[in-house]
Amino acid sequence: MKQEAKLDVCPVNEVLTFLGKSYTLPILHRLYNSSPLRFTELQNLLRVSPKVLTSRLQQLGELGVVARKSYDEIPPRVEYELSAKGEDLLLRIPIDLNASTVAIPTEPGKMFDELHAWSEKYNFATQNMKKKESAT
């Protein structure tokens, strides 16, 4: 049964589900345009609760899309920035990341091809499936 479930995994669907989670794209967009950012900076920019932001940053970190860097200082300082994997993902989405609004791509099919290529490059669907199985 698990073998059949693995065959039904669509890499593009996995990436789109991941990107569709609340605050994922806004976090990635902010980190792309002004990285690194501290937790409170992100929270203030996005007007998101600490619980939601913590959860999303942990997920993005576990998937290797966002890098977390902590400094051994008092008070503690933690900064977040896009990893190479995260930047590669954003650059595959055919939008102007420097714009304040997002327009629908002129060639949406190309976006799906790019997301599929990214998923294959980083083995995202398999990695994400393993995380889901370990959570259950």
The CA-CA-CA angle for residues 67, 48, 105, to 5°, reads 70
Per-residue pLDDT of 68-85, as tens digits, reads 999 998 888 999 999 999
**Per-residue confidence band for 107, with pLDDT thresholds at 50, 70 and 90:** low
Per-residue pLDDT of 86-104, as tens digits, reads 988 888 776 665 655 555 5
b/e sequence 84-97, b meaning 16+ C-beta within 10 Å: ebbbbbbebbeeee
Nearest one of 133, 123, 135 to 14, comparing CA atoms: 123
17-23 CB contacts, 8 Å cutoff, 24+ apart = 18/63, 18/124, 18/128, 21/56, 21/59, 22/52, 22/56, 23/48, 23/52, 23/53, 23/56
Q: Scan for tokens 């994997």, then name that residue.
A: 85
Domain ranges of the chain: 2-135
The pLDDT of residue 134 is: 62
What pTM, to 2 d.p., does this model score?
Answer: 0.74
pLDDT higher than 50, residue 52: yes
- 81 and 37 Cβ atoms separated by less than 8 Å: yes
- 22 and 47 Cβ atoms separated by less than 8 Å: no
Torsions phi, psi for 69 (to 5 deg) = -125, 120
Nearest one of 6, 3, 2 to 123, comparing CA atoms: 6
Q: What is the mean pLDDT of the chain?
A: 80
Cβ atoms within 10 A of the Cβ of 125, count? 20
Question: Which fold is adopted by the domain 2-135?
Answer: Arc Repressor Mutant, subunit A (1.10.10)
